[in-house]
Structure 1
Amino acid sequence: MPKAETSPVESVDRALLLLLLMRERGPVSVKTAAEHLAVAPSTAHRLLSALAFRGFVSQDRERRYRLGPALMDRSMEPFSISRLREYARGPLLELHSRLGETVQLMVLRGGNIQFIDGVESESSLRVGMRIGDQMPAFVSAGGKAILAQLSNAELEELYRNGLPAWPTSRITTMAMLKRSMTKVRRAEFGTNFEETEQGVSGVGVSIGDVTGRPVAAVTVATPSIRFRRVDMAVHVAALRQAAASIEERIAQASR
């Protein structure tokens, strides 16, 4: 009988099989990876750690592994800034109509967030839009929602040179950032109570692509004098609906 075909370098073959698995199924746990390869969890963990070291995979907030930045072809991403604005425009208008406050779309730029679109409130007392502006992600409700989707290792890499200073920030150390992100992960939304600037309160949720990678966030910003904690649930529900609509548009474009 002919011998079964085997790879000349077994460890390389196993690593490639894991990448194919993630491309097919999305994020996988160490246990799933071990079962797929029929190896011990410790062996699967070593392979995944080696892939993560070179950026071929990264961990999500549930410590599962997904395809990393080294394998992302930027020219083929369906959510370029212009496309992302296109996917989000309808949901942003609906969100604005529902809440009556300024709503904004943002993306991560290094350790900052950048505002790329929005709809401004028509109230005489309102939060102005910041299209094109950047600020540290950890002071923004939407930025926190995005950062919470990253692992602690990814946060450390993102801010490897330390957290940038911001006049109204309440997060000043990596330890404080990690603790804050743990709370945001549990809540599944971010908040900003006069952390971006005095007089502004905000709530934000992240937007993911088909693999679960965070690609943007949507927020509602309210003058603090008008913001009521009892309205939080309404804001969160509306934001989640808007995020789900944008994610569905991203998914459709990826098919």
Structure 2
Amino acid sequence: MSSVRRTIQVLDLLARKGALGVRSVAQQLDLPVGSIHRLLNDLEAEAAVERNAEGTWQLGYRLLDIVELQLDGLGFQRLARPFCEAIAAAVGETVNVNVTSGDGCVCIDKVRGNESMQLDWKVGSRGPLHCGGAAKAILAFLSDADQHRIVNAPLPRFTPNTITAASALREELERIRKRGYSIDNQEVVLGVFCVAVPIVDRTGRPVGAISVSGPSPKAPGSTVQPLVDQLSAAAGEISRRLGYAGSWPPKSAAMAHDIRAAS
């Protein structure tokens, strides 16, 4: 096993389990104690891990600095935060910002509303693109080639409402493109509903999404439209600040809107 892979495994374990002794780390990763001890000392020298008062190992603040630099580079968190705060205050539910990551997406920021029940992803949570409001909002506006690859891959089921048939998912993505937003009807977690709008870069490619999630039911139509309007205004402004100069909503959704308006 390469040293890089061991390093990632150690950091991931400490992130998930909290402070651990060197023997515990070695046992849980099934690696030699001596190797883990040397690795932890190297990581300590780079401030990636540190020993606490009890003598066990925990993550250091260097990793937070690295993550902050990454988020600043993406620009999403800084650009989206004021919109998230305004929407969360207005609707009382949690506003999430997700970015694309390979064939999945990652929650990079959230602002809680004032609802007593808050059902949402933790910052750093990673999920697939075939289910969930933000994920489907991203997937619906990807290129045909990217969609084909993801839709025809295995589609894990998380709840009875998760879409796991490729044909049904393609139909759902077409509906999302036409109306410009996605709906999550308890596809990832039972009791959690979500509405989301994509964020695009200067080329029009979806690079993230902004969403509202919570316990109140959400379905396509006039009832959810006020939420959609707020999310769309925020996503449009963030996209423009990322260099997007096209019409809003993105092309396919805008075309559908023009057709409806003319009919």
What TM-score results when the alignment is normalised by the length of structure 1?
A: 0.61
Q: Matched residues in 1 for 2:124 and 2:161: separation?
A: 20
Q: Tell me, what secondary structure is at the counterpart of 1:217?
A: strand
Structure 1 position 145 matched with structure 2 position 101: no
User: 1:189 deviation in Å?
Assistant: 0.3
Unaligned runs of 5+ in 2: 1-68, 245-263
CA distance 1:221–1:198, shift in 2 (3 Å): same
Q: How does 1:1-255 map to 2 (within 5 A)?
A: 81-82=71-72, 83-159=75-151, 161-224=153-216, 231-251=223-243
Distance 1:172 1:148, change over 3 A: same
Q: Answer yes or no: is the 8 Å Cα contact 2:159–2:186 preserved in 1.
A: no
Q: In the alignment, residue 192 of structure 1 is paired with which amino acid?
A: D
Q: Distance in 1 between matches of 2:158 and 2:235?
A: 28
Matched residues, number: 173
Letter in 2 for 1:243: A
Q: Deviations over 1:172-221 (max 9, x none)?
A: 12222211111111111000011111111110000011110111100001
Distance 2:242 2:198 in 1: 13
Equivalents in 2 of 1:157, 1:81: separation in Å? 27
CA contact (8 A) 2:152 2:166 kept: no
In 2: Cα distance, 1:242 partner to 1:201 partner? 20
- One-letter code of the match for 1:104? N
| Stretch moving more, 210-219 or 109-118 | 109-118
Give the CA RMSD over aligned residues.
2.3
Change (3 A) 1:204 1:216: same
Q: Is the 8 A contact 2:96 2:210 kept in 1?
A: yes
Asked if the contact 2:184–2:195 (Cα under 8 Å) also holds between the matched residues in 1, the reply is yes
Structure with larger RCO (C-alpha < 8 A, sep 6+): 1
> Structure 1 residues 129 and 155 mapped into 2: Cα distance closer, same or farther (>3 Å)?
closer
AA partner of residue 138 (structure 2): I
**% of aligned pairs identical?**
29
The residue identity in structure 2 corresponding to 1:98 is A
Alpha-carbon deviation of 1:114?
1.2
The CA deviation string for residues 54-82 of structure 1, in whole angstroms up to 9 with x for no partner, is: xxxxxxxxxxxxxxxxxxxxxxxxx9533
Distance in 2, Cα, partners of 1:81 & 1:157: 27
